[in-house]
Structure 1
Amino acid sequence: MKFMDRIKTGTIVISLSGEIQSVNDRARVMFGDPVAEEAGMGIGELLPGFDIQKMEEENILFQTGSHRDGHVIPLYIKIHSFMLHDELYYMLELWERKGEKNEIEKHLKELADLKFALDESAIVAITDRRGIISYVNDKFCQVSKYSAQELLGSDHRLINSGCHSKEFMRNLWKTILKGNVWRGELKNKAKDGTYYWVDTTIVPFLDENGKPYQFLAIRYEITEHKQVVEELKNSIQELVDLKFALDESSIVAITDARGKITYVNDLFCKISQYSREELIGKNHRIINSNYHSHEFFKQLWQTISSGKVWKGEIRNRAKDGTYYWVDTTIVPFLDENGKPYQYLAIRFEITDKKRVEKELQHMMTRLLDVQEEERKRLSRNLHDGVGQNLYGHLITINRMRSKVEHPLLDQMQEEVSELIEEVRDISWELRPSVLDDLGLVPAIRSFLTRFAENYQIAVSFDCSLSGSRLGFEKETTIYRVIQESLTNVRKYACVDEASVSIRGWEDGLRVVISDEGCGFGADHQKSGVGLFSMEERARSVGGKLKVRSAAGQGTTVVLELPMVPGTPI
């Protein structure tokens, strides 16, 4: 509040024509008591030369008044207009200029304080109406990196960055030359060539004719703000581009913490055959194919509700009842407490891939069956054909030796015996007849006995299987996994002991082959052909194979096979 506002004022109300309508007590005292409110008395009698048309509302004017006794009264006058009964009236506020020096000093002190505050917080410059700089504060020099001497007498082209168009600058000048305030953001160039942004207000100072005679520019540096805004714009644009790319290539859905769908993209609607309206507000049970177990989804929710990303393959059902597979990644969005408040699911359709995998799996199973049949045929041919012929030759040689003694007969007898043993070993490796004739357990026991004799590795065997047969494919898979695992033990483990166990496990069967030998790292584990063969055999009968090994910590191979409920094991 200025000092004049703190002084009790006199008030006079006049009409549009200048006739006095009312005068308050303070005004009566100013002009000499009493001041008659006579009809037709004009304001000019109290304020000689006063012209209401030249007054602007809220502006303060210096005016002299005429006291009743004839002396002159120095006054400040402020005018306000108002409507009453559809007539325009003016109220004049009047202050006597008593003690003017002290009041002016106070006012100047206020102005000095305001200037100090402005200089501390803002970049300030004053130019004449041609734009020539006549004043700059320290902050202007600090930001522009020009000295006051370099700036004074120049115009603002000295710091022009060239980033704004001619139309932009023309608009600015049109505004302020009309006496209007201009506000906007400007990019300027400092003396060292660096750029800086300023939030600018340019205020024209007007002469008695309403024409600008100088301009006050108040600026606040916003370079960091502009950089942040620019970075945000770039980030938002990147996000828009990423969303576009994601929507074009992926099936996208967002759900709340309870799993209720809040967003789906067009690709989700297209592949699920549901409209967006049918999906929003529902949960993913609407596309549940019932292919996966309750435990599968329980584990999924446990993962994401704990704030971890879940990845896997899911079979869904479209609106028309057809099935489709999706490779799915579910990402939880966490609040400030680390709790998920929504989930983003990104899916890629892999129906064709799963179909090809199924066909390959069927083909692999068929190849394994054909391989075993061929092994069985070769084994039988070797045993019943070549083996029997060699055995016949051995009998003949033995008969000849009983009648004739000759070193060649002894040599032939020895060589034929070795050949018979080799054929028997090859036949056994291809497929032991005991596996087909007597079953899995006798075949394993026979194999372990031969393995121990040939390689001096003792293998303990623990089995809970009954005498029931498990079927050609499952028995072959179990036998081959044990055979391949122990072959690896013989080649790489550097041990003289190992163990094999076969146990019932929930609705399935678990086979464990372990040793405490050298073990191996993950790279060797991934590259092994034998491991690939075991995994394919396990998959061919719907089972799973797991290998746990580390250098110096031994190896454990676990085969898990599903069994039909009620199968005696």
Structure 2
Amino acid sequence: MQSHRSSQHPPEGNSPLKIVVLYLLGGLLWFALSAWLLQLVPDMPLLGSAFLNLLFLLISASLLMLVLRTRHQQLRGQRLRLLADEQRYRKLYEESPQPMWICSSQEKRLLSLNDAALALFGYTMAELRMKPLQQLVYEKDQYLLNLHLQPEQHYEKAGIWRFSDDKGEIVFLDLVIHQIQFNEHTAKLVIANNLTDLIRTEEEKLRIHNELHHYKKALDRSAMLTVTDLEGNIIDINSKVSEITGWSRHELLGQNPRVLSSGHHPKHFWTTMFHSLQHGQVWRGEVRNKTKEGQPFWIDMSVVPVYDEHNQIYKYMGMAYPITDRKMAEIRSEKIHRELMTFMYKASHNLRGPVATLSGLINVAKMEVQDPITNQYIKLMGERANHLEFTLSELIAITKVKQEDLSLAAIDFQALIDDVLLSFERSIRDGGISVDVAIRTTTPFSTDEKLIRGILFYLIDNSIKFRNNQNPRIRVAVDEQSNGVLMTVADNGPGIDPEIQDRIYDMYYRGHEKSQGSGLGLYIVASIVERLCGYITLDSSIHTNSGATFRIFLPNDLYLRRNLPEKDMLPLQSEN
């Protein structure tokens, strides 16, 4: 910053007027003293008088020189102090973290900017020096230039102005303007306080507040919102709760949500919810409640714990959507499904008797009829009867998978796999199939044994049917996982075309020209896996001759007990 005139003044005792008066008084006193000394020696010779005058003159000159020297030293000290003050002010100006600049009062041109101002605007001194301040002021705030930069205004809090930086972004500055002398001209020193972050934060808070207002408005129209304290007492609800339940806000505040309970859910249903919430987890479930008049209604409810600034849970917030219509449709659909399953089971079961009788009669006919042509027809009838009996068995298996309760017990995989392979002993021997079994488990695993048997039966049956005619191999493996087991059934057969792999689990789908089955085997496998809350994957390609590899992950019984309805499970059986 270039030098500007200080507002400090010399001390009052050293003003020029006082110095002149002192010199006059001193001169008069000296002349009076000289006249008095001359009167004491009236007969002094002329030379002696001249010498005396010269002496007086020298004394006067010495005194005057002493006074002038003293005054010069005073002025020099003042000048050094002013220069030191100017250096301090210059350093404060240049190194201040607050943006500052100096502009002319008349033309409003930038004369100087400190480093903080240059960093704020993103320009260099060369780019801004002698440029009009209008270049930085935001277009809509340029009227403030003439309002606050008048020469007669010595100090003013000019308020918040908007400026544009080198990137065109808006910068909010709170300005204080001082009038100073800069290079012998009147100028304005502008001190700015950058409020951009604060204003941006306030704008963001306002935006969030408006969004939350709109979200709340939308939620009030579509969802039920309930807030409870840690004891479960209701402390706030929205209008949708009153609309659905028939209870007013005044009636529900302070009440426990149990006032809405229909008694439909068992105790452990609510225990699980409270346990999840107390451990900071979000809970979600479908709940059947009742209105004030006692009418049942269903909601899809999510409850979340709310934390305070100390990361402690201090209330719970529940949001629920009415799903009564959907739930009633599901109940009706489930009823129809159960009725169809029951019908299919009973019809299949009732048909097995006549089919078994028909098979027996066909076998008797084979033994008694000697005509070759007739025997050929009897053989075809026998094959169709066997196929029908097998299909009925699979339909019965489907109904059992869908409807029967799970019976969880510890599984002996080695014994179970050996037993399943025993039922294919003749096919394995006649086909020359090499079977490799690997069990890699150390922790007991519990699930429904008859369903595991079904998975193994249908997958091994598929591998035998679609085996490789040269050196056929089947691999069965069970590997322990952190929360379950991974079962693998692999073969080296022709494989399954990737284009049909998404459809192989469909009912009655047969994707191979060699397939002579009912198209229900893999559908039953997928149904069992779904019932046991697992998943199945297939790795196969018809181009690499790598066969088909089915991998089935099954969770342990603890997972099943947490995720299946109580009616679907029987007590865990012991290994004995």
Amino acid at match of 2:314: Y
State the superposition RMSD in angstroms: 5.9
Cα gap change, 1:136 to 1:353, in 2 (>3 Å): same
Amino acid at match of 2:287: I
Distance in 1 of aligned mates of 2:361 and 2:339: 33
Cα gap change, 1:116 to 1:236, in 2 (>3 Å): farther
How far the C-alpha of 1:123 sits from its partner, in A, is 2.8
- The aligned counterpart of 2:129 is 151
- The aligned counterpart of 1:423 is 385
- The aligned counterpart of 1:254 is 227
170, 173, 177: which one aligns with 1:202: 177
Distance in 2 of aligned mates of 1:179 and 1:426: 108
How far the C-alpha of 1:426 sits from its partner, in A, is 2.7
How far the C-alpha of 1:160 sits from its partner, in A, is 2.4
How far the C-alpha of 1:524 sits from its partner, in A, is 8.0
Please, which runs of 5 or more residues in structure 1 have no aligned partner? 8-29, 31-62, 65-70, 72-98, 207-212, 402-408, 441-446, 459-476, 500-513
Distance in 2 of aligned mates of 1:342 and 1:329: 14
- The aligned counterpart of 2:245 is 272
- The aligned counterpart of 1:462 is none
Q: Is the 8 A contact 2:102 2:113 kept in 1?
A: no
2:340 is the counterpart of 1:340: no
326, 340, 345: which one aligns with 1:367: 340
Cα gap change, 1:160 to 1:547, in 2 (>3 Å): closer
Distance in 2 of aligned mates of 1:106 and 1:261: 74
146, 161, 170: which one aligns with 1:186: 161
Q: Is the 8 A contact 2:475 2:488 kept in 1?
A: no
Distance in 1 of aligned mates of 2:247 and 2:142: 51
How far the C-alpha of 1:157 sits from its partner, in A, is 1.4
- The aligned counterpart of 1:470 is none
Distance in 1 of aligned mates of 2:504 and 2:156: 75
Q: Deviations along 1:27-71, whole A, 9 cap, x unmatched?
A: xxx9xxxxxxxxxxxxxxxxxxxxxxxxxxxxxxxx99xxxxxx9
Amino acid at match of 2:177: I
- The aligned counterpart of 1:40 is none
287, 311, 317: which one aligns with 2:290: 317
- Where in structure 2 are the equivalents of 1:119-518 lying within 5 Å? 119-121=94-96, 122-127=98-103, 129-130=105-106, 132-133=108-109, 135-139=111-115, 140-142=117-119, 143=121, 145-147=123-125, 150-152=128-130, 155-164=132-141, 166=143, 172=148, 181-190=156-165, 195-203=170-178, 215-334=188-307, 339-383=312-356, 386-387=358-359, 390=362, 393=365, 397-398=368-369, 409=371, 412-413=374-375, 416=378, 419-420=381-382, 423=385, 426-427=388-389, 429-430=391-392, 486-491=457-462, 517-518=489-490
Partner SS for 2:259: helix
How far the C-alpha of 1:353 sits from its partner, in A, is 1.1
Partner SS for 1:160: coil
Distance in 2 of aligned mates of 1:552 and 1:341: 49
Cα gap change, 1:338 to 1:158, in 2 (>3 Å): closer
Q: Is the 8 A contact 1:183 1:200 kept in 2?
A: yes
Distance in 2 of aligned mates of 1:149 and 1:244: 51
- The aligned counterpart of 1:57 is none
Partner SS for 2:262: coil
Partner SS for 1:263: strand
Distance in 1 of aligned mates of 2:451 and 2:103: 96
Distance in 2 of aligned mates of 1:528 and 1:421: 25
* Greater fraction strand: 1
Partner SS for 2:141: coil
Q: Is the 8 A contact 2:103 2:133 kept in 1?
A: no
- The aligned counterpart of 1:78 is none
Cα gap change, 1:450 to 1:328, in 2 (>3 Å): same
How far the C-alpha of 1:338 sits from its partner, in A, is 5.3
Amino acid at match of 1:151: R
Partner SS for 1:369: helix
Cα gap change, 1:361 to 1:111, in 2 (>3 Å): same
Q: Is the 8 A contact 1:379 1:428 kept in 2?
A: no
How far the C-alpha of 1:266 sits from its partner, in A, is 2.3
How far the C-alpha of 1:223 sits from its partner, in A, is 4.0
Q: Is the 8 A contact 2:348 2:392 kept in 1?
A: yes
Cα gap change, 1:276 to 1:393, in 2 (>3 Å): same
Q: TM-score, normalised by structure 1?
A: 0.55
Amino acid at match of 2:293: D
Cα gap change, 1:366 to 1:144, in 2 (>3 Å): closer
Q: Is the 8 A contact 2:529 2:536 kept in 1?
A: no
Q: TM-score, normalised by structure 2?
A: 0.54
Q: Is the 8 A contact 2:110 2:132 kept in 1?
A: no
Q: Deviations along 1:95-124, whole A, 9 cap, x unmatched?
A: xxxx99978976886676456434422333
Distance in 2 of aligned mates of 1:485 and 1:354: 36
How far the C-alpha of 1:215 sits from its partner, in A, is 3.8
Cα gap change, 1:449 to 1:486, in 2 (>3 Å): closer
- Where in structure 2 are the equivalents of 1:41-120 lying within 5 Å? 113=88, 116-120=91-95
How far the C-alpha of 1:362 sits from its partner, in A, is 0.8
Cα gap change, 1:183 to 1:342, in 2 (>3 Å): farther
Distance in 2 of aligned mates of 1:555 and 1:191: 60
- The aligned counterpart of 1:76 is none
Distance in 2 of aligned mates of 1:496 and 1:418: 35
Q: Deviations along 1:416-469, whole A, 9 cap, x unmatched?
A: 36734752563464269x99xxxx9xxxxxx999956886799xxxxxxxxxxx
Q: Is the 8 A contact 1:131 1:156 kept in 2?
A: no
How far the C-alpha of 1:415 sits from its partner, in A, is 5.5
Q: Deviations along 1:70-96, whole A, 9 cap, x unmatched?
A: x9xxxxxxxxxxxxxxxxxxxxxxxxx
Partner SS for 2:139: coil
- The aligned counterpart of 2:513 is none
Identity %: 17
Amino acid at match of 1:423: A
Please, which runs of 5 or more residues in structure 2 have no aligned partner? 1-7, 19-24, 26-73, 398-403, 405-418, 430-434, 436-447, 465-472, 479-485, 492-500, 508-519, 538-548, 572-576
Q: Deviations along 1:298-331, whole A, 9 cap, x unmatched?
A: 2222223222222322222222222222222333
How far the C-alpha of 1:218 sits from its partner, in A, is 1.1
Which range is displaced more, 557-566 or 294-303? 557-566
Q: Is the 8 A contact 2:227 2:234 kept in 1?
A: yes
* Greater fraction helix: 2
How far the C-alpha of 1:360 sits from its partner, in A, is 0.6
How far the C-alpha of 1:388 sits from its partner, in A, is 7.1
Q: Deviations along 1:133-164, whole A, 9 cap, x unmatched?
A: 47424334454625379534x54213223143
Q: Is the 8 A contact 2:261 2:290 kept in 1?
A: yes
Distance in 2 of aligned mates of 1:318 and 1:554: 45
Question: How many residue pairs are counted as aligned between the two chains?
Answer: 422
- The aligned counterpart of 1:465 is none
